[in-house]
């Protein structure tokens, strides 16, 4: 397939790049600095920013599927998803591209902690989501709202804390809330799960929680 990839230079994005290439897909990646991207030989690079509608449209052109690993690079108010996701959705509508699979986070929906112990719900909600991760969580909630209203065939994959260790090749999935006692998962496993959605309709039009 022809894959349009946003956020390719990030930790999860690089994993998606390699997996798409190994699966035989053609990758068009929007890159702010293509010359420094370590996997640049595997992609057709579109130089530019995810905040530039022209560059976004060039990336989406002729794609069968859009993958996005965009997200905040710090705990500050960056508005990355607030600005970029509406542009991606607009470009997809204009070019009649239907399928998009994005990396989200567990804080994107208010029901994320419903299956956790009461003490953990309080700690995460009040000491993490409302303080430390206040702005990244706000961005993820914006991404969810934009996709929900898009009319596209979207899937948002929502893990808790991501680790850089080796994947286990197995995970728990729940459409309603994080699985009980869920706290982390390797980026490798999240990338593998996102790749499976390219040819699956199981979670189309849904946000889904994933964790070990």
Distance between CA atoms of residues 115 and 212, nearest Å: 14
pLDDT at position 132 is 86
Q: Kindly report, residue by residue over 86-99, the tens digit of the pLDDT.
A: 999 999 999 999 99
Q: Is the pLDDT of residue 13 over 90?
A: yes
Q: Which domains does the chain have, with CATH numbers?
A: 2-211 (3.40.50.720)
Are the C-beta atoms of 109 and 125 separated by less than 8 Å?
A: no
pLDDT of residue 134: 93
User: What pLDDT does residue 74 have?
Assistant: 83
Q: Is the pLDDT of residue 29 over 90?
A: yes
pLDDT-wise least confident of 27-36, 48-57, 128-137, 184-193: 128-137
Positive or negative torsion for Cα 140, 20, 183, 149? positive
Pairing, β 172-174 against β 206-211: antiparallel
pLDDT of residue 70: 98
Cα separation, 125 vs 184, in Å, equals 16
- Kindly tell me the sign of the dihedral angle through the C-alpha atoms of 194, 195, 198, 200: negative
Given this model, what pLDDT does residue 127 score?
Answer: 87
Question: Taking residues 119-147, what's their average pLDDT?
Answer: 93
Arithmetic mean of pLDDT, 174-191:
97
- Residue 114 is predicted with a pLDDT of 96
Whether the per-residue pLDDT at 180 is higher than 90: the answer is: yes
- Average pLDDT over every residue of 61-76: 93
Tell me, what's the pLDDT at 75?
81
pLDDT (mean) for 3-31:
98
Q: Which pLDDT does position 73 carry in this prediction?
A: 82
Whether the per-residue pLDDT at 156 is higher than 90: the answer is: yes
> Confidence band (pLDDT; 50, 70, 90) for 203?
very high
CA angle 182–205–31, rounded 5-degree value: 80
Q: Between 80-94 and 134-148, two packed helices, what is the crossing angle to 10 degrees?
A: 20
């Amino acid at each position: 397939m022809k894959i349009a990839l946003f956020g390719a230079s990030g930790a999860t994005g690089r994993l998606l790049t390699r997996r798409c290439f190994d699966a035989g897909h053609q990758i068009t990646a929007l890159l702010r600095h293509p010359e420094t991207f370590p996997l640049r030989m595997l992609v057709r690079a579109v130089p530019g920013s995810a905040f530039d509608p022209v560059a976004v449209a060039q990336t989406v052109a002729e794609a069968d599927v859009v993958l996005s690993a965009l997200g905040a690079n710090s705990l500050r108010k960056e508005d990355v998803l607030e600005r970029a996701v509406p542009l991606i959705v607009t470009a997809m509508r204009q070019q009649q591209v239907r399928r998009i699979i994005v990396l989200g986070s567990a804080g994107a929906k208010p029901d994320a902690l419903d299956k956790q112990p009461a003490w953990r719900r309080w700690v995460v909600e009040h000491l993490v989501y409302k303080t430390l991760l206040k702005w990244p969580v706000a961005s993820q909630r914006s991404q969810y709202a934009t996709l929900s209203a898009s009319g596209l065939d979207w899937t948002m994959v929502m893990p808790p804390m991501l680790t850089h260790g080796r994947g286990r090749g197995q995970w728990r999935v729940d459409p309603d809330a994080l699985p009980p006692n869920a706290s982390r998962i390797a980026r490798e496993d999240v990338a593998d799960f996102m790749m499976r959605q390219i040819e699956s309709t199981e979670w189309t039009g849904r946000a889904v929680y994933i964790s070990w």
